[in-house]
Amino acid sequence: MDFNESTTKINLARSFSAECQAGARYQFISKIALSDSQKFLSDTMKTLAKNEMAHAKVFYDYIIEKSAGKSKNIGIEAGYPFESPELKTSLNSSAETELSEAKNIYPSFAKIAYDEGFDDIGKSFEMVARVEETHYEILDYLSKLYKSGNMYKRKIPTKWKCSLCGYVENAKNGFKECPLCKAPQGFIIIDIEKEDTK
Ligand SMILES: [Fe+2]
Ligand SMILES: [Fe+2]
């Protein structure tokens, strides 16, 4: 199938748009988190923003490569989220958007790409879907912790590490202020991959 006539081309443009916007929104959230002294949250959102921009680049590059200069302007019509970046709502709404990308949008774009004969693009959509699922897990977990006021409270002793000076303490509750460098609690790293996030 001719790429320039394909639905996949439009889907790539929509995906590029969505990823750029997610990258922007996550940077907005990152700034708000920082103004709330939530350094770890802020850094996490910055990392997710970086991931989204990398996804945007994958989609952009496909359009440039496959359209061979014949699609200089692509019109798209799609709905995109515009929600307040305040932490008590934005972490959760971002998690939901990630889940819908992971479970619905990208798998369906992958299927269309395979049907139209663009296997390489189909594979990329599937790989991005898997990343968005991990984003969902991170955001869903952080949203629950933040809303319950339990960012730095656990039922069992946990390793709490200051991201600024590296001081480590094992306790149920993270230190309110780093005993060594006096950084606020929000600087403590939450080891999301090691915690049970379900
Ligand atoms: Fe993404
Ligand atoms: Fe994502």
Q: How many contiguous H segments (helices) and E segments (strands) does the chain have?
A: 5, 3
Sheet holding 168-173, edge to edge: 168-173, 153-162, 188-189
Q: Spell out the per-residue pLDDT of the chain, length 198, in tens.
A: 999 999 999 999 999 999 999 999 999 999 999 999 999 999 999 999 999 999 999 999 999 999 998 988 999 999 999 999 999 999 999 999 999 999 999 999 999 999 999 999 999 999 999 999 999 999 999 999 999 999 999 999 999 999 999 999 999 999 999 999 999 999 999 998 888 777
Whats the size of the chain, residue-wise? 198
**Ligand 1 center from residue 173 Cα (angstroms):** 33
Cβ(75)–Cβ(10) below 8 Å: no
**Ligand 2 center from residue 67 Cα (angstroms):** 26
**Ligand 1 center from residue 177 Cα (angstroms):** 34
Class of domain 153-189: mainly beta
Question: What CATH number was assigned to the domain covering residues 3-148?
Answer: 1.20.1260.10
**Ligand 2 center from residue 48 Cα (angstroms):** 6
- Residue ranges of the domains in the chain? 3-148, 153-189
Tokens read off for 10: 């439009």
- Strands 153-162, 168-173: pairing is antiparallel
